[in-house]
Structure 1
Amino acid sequence: MHPFTYTRVSDTREALTAGRRGGRYLAGGTTLVDLMRETVERPEALVDISGLPLREILVTRRGGLRIGALVTMAETAAHRGVRALYPVISQALELSASAQLRNMATIGGNIMQRTRCTYFRDVTAACNKRQLGSGCAAREGFNRTHAILGTSDACVATHPSDVAVAFAALEATVVVLGPDGERGVPFADFLLRPGSTPSREQALRRGELITAVEIPALPRPLRSGYLKVRDRQSYEFALTSAAVALHISGGVIRHAKVAAGGVGTVPWKLPAVERQLIGRRPSDALWAKAAERAADGARPLHHNRFKVELLKRTVERQLRVVGGGK
């Protein structure tokens, strides 16, 4: 681990000042500290924001949510309002990491976590996320767990967060605070596809601080849930996953929110699947037809071609679980 300075701040003004000077924000530390230990990350300054007052979960009058950036994964999953209004969020969190990590890791840190690509974490391997222009070892290496959607010639790494898939499906907003004040970033724009600049992963400006994630109020009744398919039952990242939220009224699907994880360079919204669902009556035939669109645009690699079919089956299964079938 390389030398660094450490500052603990007690209010957002102090945090922003330190952030503008190049300090890296640290909360639970469950990702950044690991990357520093492995010398993948070498920040010169850490700014401990764990004492900031960003630990509230608020249920809005219309039934939306505002989750403070420093609320832990465990606290969010257990919150009565979250469980009642958006079980897809609680389920995604409970299927993430280990109980110990969920007690430490924060919501803001979770969506900021970097890829689990083994080549990214191996400083001897070529990786454009670490050193632009060095190449992508995963493209020709062992790429079974890598992305099939949103990839580029520069990078094929997946985003590891489960709850980010739920946030993408629900069309959340990330609230950030910076030198120019507060702004909201739609979740679809917050996490960036690699393109030709894979080292730039979030739409944050220098020194900006995540303060909350907001979930809009969606029509009720709303059924939602999260399915994660992985190699082993505990403490494993997704091969595929599906976050589904459906508003069914009068026997017809009025609103559909669907996203997939484990297959994209970012949590992957599935608008083609959603369009197949809206205005139709739930049925096993509908779930199968809609799920066929889940892998539209996929570009599988040598070892992960199985993800195309697995993604379709994962989405179909979760549509059936959430929406019921005949």
Structure 2
Amino acid sequence: MGHGPGARGVVEKPQDFNAVMGKLAAYCKRYLPAMIIALILGAAGTVCQIVGPDKLKDITNEIIKGVTPAIVHGKPVFGSIDLQAVSRIGFTLVALYVGYALLSYAQSWIMATISQRTAQSLRDDISKKINRLPLRYFDNTSYGDVLSRITNDVDAIGQTLGQSLGALVTSVTLFFGALIMMFANNVTMTLTAIGVSIIGLVLMALIMRFSQKYFLQQQIALGQTNGHVEEMYAGHLIVKAYSGEADSIRTFERYNDSLYESGWKSQFLSGLMMPFMTFIGNLGYVAVCVVGAALAMDGRIEFGVIVAFMMYIRLFTQPLAQFAQATQNLQRCAAASERVFGFLEEPEMSVDATGSFAEHRA
């Protein structure tokens, strides 16, 4: 029963994120055109979402003009709301939100298909690779660790491709699109929102810095635990015959504790993202409302601008949380990809002219 490289509890060197993601991109190159189309659809849908608050601003201004009295000969004269203009803007707003929903659905459908095809291909390659590996590899690596690469690691890759990659593109589009629209409406209020959001960026960078290593440790510990459990069940009679229960329990507890520690730390740090970003969003919301009220009282902006900013501040801070979550998932995907491609790049046996197998190094 092997407890070699696959059973180590310490990460000897940090993963090369760029190299590993480059290998994954090369592996998915057959789906690249469809992936680009999906990401473009997602970005286009996000643009529809970004334009929405600006149309709400126009509706608000039309209503305000109709209910605000004009002073004529010292007397207030009330006008009427232009319902045709309000209806026209309202239908445009509905069309934008319907377009956003349809484009987002199309993106999700394409990315889900690509992710599952990729996961299917990886499982197939791993299955074929197992038949070409020399026996000495399995002497040094537990069977459960190999199975963990087929199940847990491949699933992590598929989930990231299906969800996080699209979310990363849409969050970037939403962030810069909302920023442009905010500057177009009012510079002072935009700078206020940016100042508050910088706090969120600093917190996000600190959390990402500490959480990266725990995601890799979690994947390794998961493989160790699965490998040990599989070996103990497969060799149950041998363990009983040689009174190895106590040693087996101690080994399992060590692996289980390692999985608990790395899993708890990675999930805890990852879970901090959303509360921090929610707090930053609420803080920015309050700051923008206060500054907007002061500007409106001075007559420097219309009331509709405040309404638009109340939505834009959400659209502006929301991508920070999405980007943070997508980045965390990409780190987990990189850790899983490192294990999968490390297995696929193991030295294989070669077939000579007589049809027999001989070991060789790739």
The verdict on a shared fold, with TM-score over 0.5 as the criterion, is no
Query: Larger RCO: Structure 1 or Structure 2 (Cα < 8 Å, ≥ 6 residues apart)?
Result: 2
TM-score, normalization by structure 2:
0.23
TM-score (norm 1): 0.24
- Which one has a larger percent strand, Structure 1 or Structure 2? 1
- Structure number with higher helix proportion: 2
